[in-house]
Structure 1
């Protein structure tokens, strides 16, 4: 066969192979590395974190016109702190991480996809974590005195729990005081402080103290109160302490 005819026949065969490969989705359609890595798009969904102490779930979804991308996702927060590194993308193109909401702030989360044979991409999303409400349950106390003219003695106790799910709140300060009325965030500097305590792992706080006889009027008109300050991740709250007595002590 004439060399020119051989060349035409070879070109025809190669063309047929390329067309067949394109129709079948063969890798021949895009030779490896010849046209760069397929582009990807990453989206990020932030859920949970409804209040301080409630976990935040970060879910990234990565897509590409070339198919489900292969690679990993690194989750971080603005400022550079890495929360979860190199989380593999699953068969649906999804990667997720659960992180604690251990701060009170408006924060911007990032999900950065690093492709294996696919292009990189990233996404960011804002979320706000508010303070959590707490519930104070005060235990009844017996008002004791050693005799006429002696100071009043009180042993006070209360439980501090999250208002949403009842979990104990450990390591939180509480103040027991005698006050002329129910305390609020702006009136806690008044009254007569009996004692201060910190909750244990069960959310339980207890302490004892003395109050002068001059505090009896406030005790009768207002009562004994326990309060938790608006501190850290928790809101201010207060509760009245049931007082029984007086008793001999």
Structure 2
């Protein structure tokens, strides 16, 4: 970065850049808060200074609004805890003041609600920890008080759930570290208690998973740094323990990856600062170590980029002062499995068959990318098919009679490894239907109509025969079906009179694609 920072914020903008704001320039216990801000561009891998905030801040928040601007709120500087707020406009690279909060806050939270408003909760005022909460309306640029939390909190978390409510967890109260949790309902503007965590936590993280549950990790209890983790289920309002991290952590980060796993980085294990990192897999409820950062970091930021990588920036390596360095984590590709199914197997010649490939990620995330379909080893001329949002790709075709191998090759992407599947498609001859008209024997035109699947079948040879009173069968004539599937025999008058038959038979013997069929017509 252009400036060393810890206790800062990092916000992913709509255009894929990352905005870093404020923080300390003199260490965890220093007093050199900065108002500076800068932008990281993943396309170039460089940081550039942008407009500074009007107010230096640490322990503040920075929230991306639906209009693309960033709202910075509260925090601490040499003048104490501030209630001020300001807006960053990426289009101009400048900050403008907006309405101040009703209460000065640091160590608070600011959560974007589904309606575009921002909920600020708790934190430390100039005198004490507060339970108050308030709402920012971007349309008016003003704050209004809303229902207070049931418990005063700072150093807590606030997570927007998929149902639109906000889950506040843990933190420091006037009586110590708490395990309590509560829910804010924007529809009623009220808080209600929900199930408490199994472990009191502050300096912890809370991450919304793709399945709608919330993963709480690490933090400082009333006595020590913990490696424990637990899951909140909004459907039941309860917490259950899940696999513990491999390393105790506080002042760390936890970032949801595009494949549904969670990356925990750095922090303090209780003494010192660690560079280690690990991955949580919701499918197995376990943590596994992954590549360590190039430098130990605590009170840093970790931001998921649009390309699936994670940007770790700033922080403190040992509590002595902030860092300007930044680094990128490239997640290992999750394993995948591909399954291909047929809409009809066996099928008949001429019948359209749809083949669908479904690609599943080993970590529960839905893979993106393309599938290359092959029929008997030859890829579709139209090229690979893009997976939809549910991880499916399909194509429809007709096949010749016989056995065919259908292959679906998932090509992988940045986050997901390739995989393949095959099936054997059996295509049988198509059934045919023949209908013979009744004719007058003295003026016969023998007529038969051949169809397959209800459609006329042209270009097929129909043989007309008759059987006399002595039981002998004679061929009267042959005719080829026209575009309407109709075959007409016009030279059988003498033969019919001679044989004195009462019926005639039309026969299609079949071919490489179609089964044979027969029909009988009456001689009147």
Q: Establish whether TM, by shorter chain, passes 0.5.
A: yes
Match of 1:122 in 2: 420
2:334 aligned counterpart, secondary structure? coil
Q: Is the aligned partner of 1:73 residue 2:353?
A: no
Q: Secondary structure at the match of 1:154?
A: coil
Q: Does residue 229 in structure 1 map to residue 509 in structure 2? A: yes
Shift of 1:81: 5.7
Residue 200 (structure 1) aligned with residue 496 (structure 2) = no
Whether the 8 Å contact between 1:227 and 1:238 is mirrored in structure 2 is yes
Task: State the partner residue of 2:436.
Answer: 138
What is the SS of the residue equivalent to 1:106? strand
CA–CA separation in structure 1 for the residues paired with 2:496 and 2:349 = 41
Who is 1:185 aligned against? none
Distance 1:125 1:84 in 2: 20
Paired residues for 1:30-179 under 5 Å: 31-32=329-330, 35=332, 37-48=333-344, 50-65=347-362, 67-80=365-378, 82=380, 85-101=383-399, 103-117=400-414, 118-144=416-442, 154-162=444-452, 165-179=453-467
Q: Which moved more, 1:207-216 or 1:9-18?
A: 9-18
Name the count of aligned residue pairs. 212
Q: Secondary structure at the match of 1:219?
A: coil
Q: Given the two structures, how large is their TM-score scaled by the length of structure 2? A: 0.36
Give unmatched runs, 5+ long, in structure 2: 1-270, 276-294, 313-327
| Structure possessing the higher radius of gyration over alpha carbons | 2
Unpaired runs of 5+ in structure 1?
1-7, 145-152, 182-189, 245-249
- Tell me, yes or no, if structure 1 residue 210 matches structure 2 residue 492: yes
SS at match of 1:85: coil
CA drift of 1:15 comes to: 3.6
For residue 142 of structure 1, give the secondary structure of its aligned residue in structure 2: coil
- State the alpha-carbon separation in 2 of the partners of residues 26 and 73 from structure 1: 23
CA contact (8 A) 2:372 2:379 kept: no
CA separation of 1:113 and 1:243: change in aligned 2, threshold 3 A: same
Residues 172-191 of structure 1 aligned to structure 2 (within 5 Å)? 172-179=460-467, 191=473
Distance 1:81 1:236, change over 3 A: farther
Asked if 2 retains the 8 angstrom alpha-carbon contact of 1:195 and 1:207, the reply is yes
Provide the C-alpha distance between the structure 2 equivalents of 1:71 and 1:179, rounded to a whole number of angstroms: 66
Structure with higher helix content: 1
Under a length normalisation based on structure 1, what TM-score does the superposition of the two structures give?
Answer: 0.71
d(CA) in 2 for partners of 1:213, 1:96? 56
Matched residue, 2:521: 241
1:26–1:84 distance in 2 versus 1, CA, 3 Å: closer
Distance in 2 of aligned mates of 1:65 and 1:219: 73
Change (3 A) 1:50 1:231: same
CA RMSD for the aligned pairs? 3.4
For the residues of structure 1 that align with 2:299 and 2:497, how far apart are their CA atoms?
99
Larger RCO (alpha carbons 8 Å, 6+ apart): 1
Q: Pick closer, same or farther for the CA change 1:237–1:213 going to 2, 3 Å.
A: closer
1:27 aligns with 2:307: no
Q: Which deviates more, 62-71 or 51-60?
A: 62-71
- C-alpha distance in structure 2 between counterparts of 1:154 and 1:81, whole Å: 53
Cα distance in 1 for residues equivalent to 2:391 and 2:496: 71
Give, in whole Å, the separation in 2 of the partners of 1:18 and 1:92.
34
